[in-house]
Structure 1
Amino acid sequence: MIHDTIAAISTAVGEGGIAIIRVSGPDAIEGVDRIFRSRISLKDAQTHTVHYGHIVEPATNEPVEEVLVTLMRGPRSFTAEDVVEINAHGGVIAVKKVLDIVLQLDGFRTAEPGEFTKRAFLNGRIDLMQAEAVIDLIRSKSDRAFSVARKQAEGVLSKRIKSLRQTVIELLAHIEVNIDYPEHDVEEMTSAYIRDQCGSAIEEIDRLLKTANEGKILREGIVTAIVGRPNVGKSSLMNMLTQENKAIVTDIPGTTRDVIEQFVSLNGIPLRLLDTAGIRETNDVVERIGVERSRNALEDADLILFLLNNNEPLQAEDRELLDQLKERPVITVINKTDLPRQLEIEVVERAVPAHSIVPMSVLAEEGLDRLEQAISEMFFEGQLESHDLTYVSNVRHISLLKRARQSLADAIEASNMGIPIDVIQIDARSAWESLGEILGDEAGDSLIDQIFSQFCLGK
C-alpha cells in the first residue's frame, strides 16, 4: 500500500497560458484543501468537479495565486488514488510558488520521474505494456505513431497478450493434472494437446511479430541519411522535407561541414533525417572531419537517399558512391529534373538495378509524392495498414515474444521426442513467465524502476 502523497508540475516548464501541478495520494484532497480558499471545501466536493479559488500562504493566509482546482477521487483517476490538479498561470514564478506551498504540506514530497504512471500500474489500473505506451504517446513523431501508441495505451495489444497467457495456463493446468494423476493420463492425447496448444500460441505470436519491424519504425523512425557528392542538393532536399531552412544552402561545395539531424513525418512515416557533408576527397581539415562523419552516418542508416544531378554527367565521386551503396537500402534521387538532362540514367540503372530511382526537382518541389511511395514500398510493402493498428513496437516486447515462442517450440520438440511431461512443463512455464513479463506480472523491481525512470516529471 502507498502511504505518501506526491506532487509535481505536469506541464512543460516555461511561459504559457496555464501550468498544472498534479497531486496524488491519500492526503491529496485534505492537504490541498488546507491551502485552497473557495466557496466550497474540497473535502465536501463531488468527484470530477472543477473549483475556482486561490492558493494561499498557510502562515499568513494571504492569496498567492488565482487557480482552478480539479478534484478526482480514487479509484476513478489516472493513478487510481485521490488526485487534485491545480491549474495556475503559466509563468515560471507563479507555478513555482504554488508547488513550493504544496510541498510544505505534511507528508507531501516531489514525485519521481514517471511516478504518477507507476502508481497507476502498481494500483492495477493499467499493465506495464500500457504504461510504456504512455511514453510512446508523449514521444510520437507522426500521426500514425500516435495512433499506434494510443491503441496500446487503451490495452488493445495487452488483451492479445493476456489471451496468449490464457492458452498457456490452460496447457499448464492440463500438465499439472497429468502429473498429479498419472494413472488417468492418455499419453497420445496429452502429446496432441501440447502440440495443439503450443502451436496455436506460436501462430498468434508470429502474427504479432510480423508487425514488429513496421511497429519499431513507427516508434523510433527510419534513420535516413541524405548523401551525395558536394552541391547536388542534399541540404535543399533536407529543407524541402522539413519545410524550414534547417540547413544552409549555397553554390559553394563543402558548405555543410557536419551531420544535421531533424525528425519529419512523411505520409505518416517518421524519418530521422541526417543531412551529411558532401562525400569527396578534400585537403580542408574541417571538411574532412565532416566527410568522415558522413561515412559513419551511412553505416548507421536504415535508409539512404542518394542524390545525383540530372543536369550533370556522372562524376568519379558519383560512381564511387554508387559502388559503395550497391548492397545498402538506397533510394536514388535524381535531382534538378527541371533542367536539361545530361545524366546517363541508363548507367545508373545498370549500376544499381535493385534500387528505386526517383526523379525530383527540389527547387520546384516536384516528385515528393514519388519519394513517399518509394519509401512506403521499401518498408511497408506499399502502404500502412489503416484498419489494424495493433503493432508490436517496443524492443523489450519483441524480445520477450521471441523468447516465449522459443520456449513453446522447445515444448513441442520435447513432446515429439517423448520427453517426460514434467520437463515439458518447464518450457511451458517459461513461455508463460515471458508473456507475463511483457504485462509486468513477472517483472522485477529493477526493470520497473528502469522503465519509469524514462518518463518526465509529472507524468
Structure 2
Amino acid sequence: MYVEDTIAAISTAAGEGGVGIVRVSGPDAPSIAHRVFRRGFNGDFESHRFYYGSVIDTVTGEVVDEAMAVLMVRPRSYTREDVLEIQCHGGYLVTRRVLELVLAAGARLAEPGEFTRRAFLNGRIDLVQAEAVIDVIRAKTGAALALAQHQRQGRLSQRLDTVMAELRQALALVEAFIDFPEDDIDPAAQDALTVHVRKAAEMVEELIAGFDEGRVLREGVAVLIAGKPNVGKSSLLNTLLQEKRAIVTSVPGTTRDIIEEVVNIRGLPLRMIDTAGIRETEDIVEKEGVRLTLEKIPEADLVLLVVDGSRPLDEDDRMILAALAGKRLILVENKCDLPRAVQIPDELALMPRVMVSTSRGDGIDELKEAIFQTFIHGAAIDSREYVAVSRVRHRDLLSRSTMHLAAFEQGLASGFTLELLAVELRDALAAVGEVTGETTPDDILDVIFDRFCIGK
C-alpha cells in the first residue's frame, strides 16, 4: 500500500565515479534540503535550479562533501512528489555518508524500484512505461535501447489505449441493451459491435505476432557453435568477435571448455557459445568438454553447425546431426577457399546454408545476415515507429484477451445472452488493463518492482 512518506536512496552505481547522486522523494524533501545542504545564502530553494554548496553533518557541523543540489517541486518531478537530488563526489564512502545524513533528517531507505513505483502510482507513467525503465538501463544494443525507449515514451501504451477504447465502445453498446431488455439488438447495432471487437482483436493479434522479435531484442539470443574438432568453430567465433578470444591450433580437440561472448549483429544481441568438438574420444578432459557441449545444446536458440567444406562428411558429423535433431540450425560450410569436397545429405538440403572462409573472412557478412533474419523478419527495428511487445507477461495477458474476444464473437453468433457477452468483453478489457497497470493486482506489482535496483 502506498504511504505518502519520504524515501531516499543512492541512485548511481556502487563503486568509484566522478559523481554520486542521492535521491529523496516525498513531502519532507524540502525540509531535508534545508537541514543537510548549506548554501551561501538563506531562503527557499527555487524549483529545478541547481545550487552549489556543502553537505553538512547536522550534529557536528562537519562538512561532509562539496556538492550540488536541486529541488524539484511536485508535480514536475520523476515521482510527481517533491524530489531532492544531491550530487556529491562518487566514492562509495562519501555517498553512503550523505545518504545516512538524509535518513537521519527524516527520510527512510527506499525499497527496490520504489521511485518508479511512485511515478506509476501517482499517474506519471503507466506500468508498461515503468517496466521499460529497467529495459533502458539493461539494454545491450542500440536496437534494444530504441525498443525500450519507445515503450518508455508510451508508444506501446498508445496502441493498448486504442484497443481498450474499442472494447469500451463495444461494452457500452452491450450494456445499453442490457439496460433496456425489451429491445433486441438490431442488425446495425450488431454490426457496429462486431466492428469494434474485430478492430480490437486485430490490433492485439498484431502485437502478439511481434512478440518473438521484441523478446529477442530485449533479452538477446543464445547461438551455439557446434561441429566436430578442427572444422573452424573457434576461428568462426574469433572472426565474429573481430578479436582472438578462443585458442586456435591445427591440433584437433583444442577447445575443451565452454567460451561465451556477446556479439551485436544489427542491434540484435547474440550470446555466442563456442564449444568443444563433438567426437568419440578416450581423452578424459576432452570427453568432459563433449559432455558439456551436449548439455548446452537444449539451451541454444540457434545452432551454427560448422562443417569442413574441403572434406566429405564422416561418422562424427552424422553423430552431431543426431544430437542436434529438432534444433533450429544454420549449416556453415567453412574453408570455402579450398576445393570443395563435402556432399550435403538430403536431410540438410533445405537447411539455411552459408559458405565461409574464416581465414579470409569470406561469407561472414552473409552469415550475420542469415542469423539476423532467423529472428527478425524484415521489421524496421531502427524505425521511430517500431513498437513491439517484449515481455512474456504482456504476451500472455494479450493472448488471454484474444481468447475472450473469440468467445464473445462465437457467443454473439450463437445467440448467447447479453450478460454473458458482457462478461467476455469485461474480461478482455481487464486483461489488456493488466498490461498497462489499470487492473494489475498488488502482488504482481510487487514482483515487477522488486526487479528494479534500489534508487530507481
Q: Deviations over 1:392-430 (max 9, x none)?
A: 111111111111011011001001001111111110100
For residues 313 and 44 of structure 1, the distance between their equivalents in structure 2, rounded to whole angstroms, comes to: 82
Q: Deviations over 1:251-306 (max 9, x none)?
A: 44333333333322112211122222221222333433332221222222211111
Aligned to 2:95: 95
2:412 maps to amino acid:
S
SS in 2 for 1:21: strand
Aligned to 2:405: 408
For residues 82 and 449 of structure 1, the distance between their equivalents in structure 2, rounded to whole angstroms, comes to: 23
Distance apart, 1:93 and its partner CA? 1.8
Q: Deviations over 1:293-336 (max 9, x none)?
A: 21222222211111122344433212332354464321122223
Aligned to 1:5: 6
1:84 maps to amino acid:
L
The 5 A counterparts of 1:130-149 are 130-149=129-148
Change (3 A) 1:249 1:91: farther
Judge conservation of contact 2:178–2:418 (CA < 8 Å) in 1. yes
Change (3 A) 1:362 1:23: farther
Aligned to 1:234: 233
Judge conservation of contact 1:323–1:351 (CA < 8 Å) in 2. no
Aligned to 2:171: 172
Distance apart, 1:71 and its partner CA? 2.2
Aligned to 2:25: 24
TM-score w.r.t. length of structure 2: 0.94
For residues 152 and 40 of structure 1, the distance between their equivalents in structure 2, rounded to whole angstroms, comes to: 43
For residues 99 and 236 of structure 2, the distance between their equivalents in structure 1, rounded to whole angstroms, comes to: 46
The 5 A counterparts of 1:302-451 are 302-325=301-324, 327-338=326-337, 340-344=338-342, 347-348=343-344, 350-382=346-378, 384-387=380-383, 388-451=385-448
1:341 maps to amino acid:
P
Distance apart, 1:190 and its partner CA? 4.2
Aligned to 2:39: 38
* RMSD, aligned α-carbons: 2.0
Structure 2 gap segments, 5+ residues each: none
For residues 123 and 84 of structure 1, the distance between their equivalents in structure 2, rounded to whole angstroms, comes to: 17
Q: Is 1:155–2:154 an aligned residue pair?
A: yes
Judge conservation of contact 1:198–1:409 (CA < 8 Å) in 2. no
Distance apart, 1:342 and its partner CA? 4.6
Judge conservation of contact 2:7–2:108 (CA < 8 Å) in 1. yes
1:59 maps to amino acid:
V
Judge conservation of contact 2:380–2:386 (CA < 8 Å) in 1. no
Distance apart, 1:187 and its partner CA? 4.5
SS in 2 for 1:225: strand
For residues 296 and 187 of structure 1, the distance between their equivalents in structure 2, rounded to whole angstroms, comes to: 62
Aligned to 1:127: 126
Moved more, 84-93 or 375-384: 375-384
SS in 1 for 2:69: strand
Judge conservation of contact 1:141–1:264 (CA < 8 Å) in 2. no
Judge conservation of contact 1:35–1:56 (CA < 8 Å) in 2. yes
Moved more, 9-18 or 191-200: 191-200
Aligned to 1:14: 15
Distance apart, 1:134 and its partner CA? 0.9
Distance apart, 1:124 and its partner CA? 0.7
Judge conservation of contact 2:306–2:332 (CA < 8 Å) in 1. yes
Judge conservation of contact 1:322–1:352 (CA < 8 Å) in 2. no
Structure 1 gap segments, 5+ residues each: none
For residues 383 and 405 of structure 1, the distance between their equivalents in structure 2, rounded to whole angstroms, comes to: 23
Judge conservation of contact 2:170–2:196 (CA < 8 Å) in 1. yes
Judge conservation of contact 2:143–2:381 (CA < 8 Å) in 1. no
Q: Deviations over 1:431-452 (max 9, x none)?
A: 0100100011111111001001
Change (3 A) 1:342 1:163: closer
For residues 341 and 329 of structure 2, the distance between their equivalents in structure 1, rounded to whole angstroms, comes to: 18
Judge conservation of contact 2:146–2:382 (CA < 8 Å) in 1. no
The 5 A counterparts of 1:172-211 are 172-211=171-210
Judge conservation of contact 2:11–2:23 (CA < 8 Å) in 1. yes
For residues 232 and 95 of structure 2, the distance between their equivalents in structure 1, rounded to whole angstroms, comes to: 47
